[in-house]
């Protein structure tokens, strides 16, 4: 039961990210700060996100939210938890 609640919360987090990508103001994307990457892939993605125009940042954030919520929805639907 706890697993279902936690997976549902993670799906809501993904939906929140997608909503933030659509409805956030341009200033909030310009003021983002990312630090503390522990591997090279996260560092490269953070550099791309920081140096990209706002439209690309919105697309990246929406895609991440979609993958996040979609992945957890898959686990919730199939019951593989």
Residues 34-71: pLDDT tens digits?
Answer: 777 789 998 898 889 989 999 999 999 999 999 999 99
Q: Return all residues near 48 (Cβ < 8 A) that are at least 6 apart.
A: 60
- The structure's pTM equals 0.84
> What value does the mean pLDDT of the chain take?
91
**pLDDT of 31 over the 90 cut:** no
Q: Which two tokens stand for residue 70?
A: 């979609």
Instruction: Return d(Cα 2, Cα 60) in angstroms, integer.
Output: 30
32: helix, strand or coil:
coil
Q: What was the pLDDT predicted at 33?
A: 77
pLDDT of 76 over the 80 cut? yes
pLDDT of residue 59: 96
CA dist 10 and 5 (Å) reads 9
């Amino acid at each position: 039961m706890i697993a279902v609640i936690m997976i549902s919360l993670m799906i809501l987090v993904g939906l929140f990210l997608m909503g933030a990508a659509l409805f956030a103001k341009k200033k909030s994307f310009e003021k983002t700060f990312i630090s503390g990457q522990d591997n090279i892939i996260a560092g490269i993605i953070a550099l791309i996100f920081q140096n990209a125009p706002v439209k690309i940042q919105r697309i990246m954030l929406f895609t991440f939210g979609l993958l996040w919520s979609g992945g957890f929805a898959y686990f919730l639907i199939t019951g593989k938890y």
